[in-house]
Chains A and B, each alone.
Chain A
């Protein structure tokens, strides 16, 4: 029972490089989310998706892009990485917008040098 799986788990980038973080869920959830968490802080929403082919901006979307081409996958892209994007990134999903809780992956630790 995998739940929400994030790849990679760790990555070090140089400033200006690009990369894509992958989130996959096997629960047939409609809604998926990308958060970032910085030291000593709570989670902040970057982008989210309410279904296949749809995406929307969250609280801190600048510098990131997302795509939801398949229902089970939600990709987070950094086109030109900056040191300010050093963070731990979490993906989450849930079935719908009623009272269902979000289920989280174990995170991707990203360092930008």
Chain B
């Protein structure tokens, strides 16, 4: 299963773009990259996911490098309410032994949005 590496913490000024990197150098061809966040011990909140093309939704943009070994989550105009732990997850290939083990949450990146 592909593993991810994220910086433990980052700061961002309110109103600026927050760029959160993730390394997943062992990702396989059909594995998706997912981003979740967790705000102050609430349940993880789904943000976005993608395979190889860049994706954008109302919350964020996901930029995946051409070789798929890394990605960046972009919050275009960070607010104080975006302060949270952000998780980058590579979803392993589903099969008879791991249907349930789809999402492995590591320690993530603690993003602090500063006023």
Interface residues of A (CB under 8 A from B): 4, 31, 33, 35, 37, 40-45, 47-50, 56, 58-59, 88, 90, 92, 94, 97-99, 101-107
Say whether A43 contacts B44, CB under 8 Å: yes
Q: Could you pull out 15 A-B pairs where Cβ atoms are within 8 angstroms?
A: A35-B105, A43-B105, A44-B105, A45-B101, A47-B100, A56-B99, A56-B100, A92-B103, A98-B94, A99-B32, A99-B49, A101-B34, A102-B46, A104-B44, A107-B41
- Residues of chain B contacted by A90 (CB below 8 angstroms): 43-44
Say whether B105 contacts A107, CB under 8 Å: no
Say whether A42 contacts B87, CB under 8 Å: yes
Say whether A31 contacts B100, CB under 8 Å: yes
- Closest chain B residue to A48, Cβ basis: B100
Interface residues of B (CB under 8 A from A): 32, 34, 36, 41-46, 49, 51, 87, 91, 94, 99-108
Say whether A104 contacts B99, CB under 8 Å: no
- Residues of chain B contacted by A33 (CB below 8 angstroms): 100
Say yes or no: A4-B43 contact (C-beta < 8 A), given A45-B101, A58-B100.
yes
- Closest chain B residue to A99, Cβ basis: B32
Say whether B99 contacts A48, CB under 8 Å: yes
7 closest A-B pairs by beta carbon, nearest first, are A48-B100, A42-B105, A104-B43, A43-B105, A97-B94, A101-B46, A106-B43
Say whether B42 contacts A106, CB under 8 Å: yes
Give A43 Cβ to nearest chain B Cβ, in Å.
4
Say whether A59 contacts B42, CB under 8 Å: no
- Residues of chain B contacted by A50 (CB below 8 angstroms): 99-100
- Residues of chain B contacted by A47 (CB below 8 angstroms): 100
- Residues of chain A contacted by B107 (CB below 8 angstroms): 40-42
Q: How far is the CA of A101 from the CA of B44 in the complex (A)?
A: 11
- Residues of chain A contacted by B101 (CB below 8 angstroms): 45, 48, 58-59
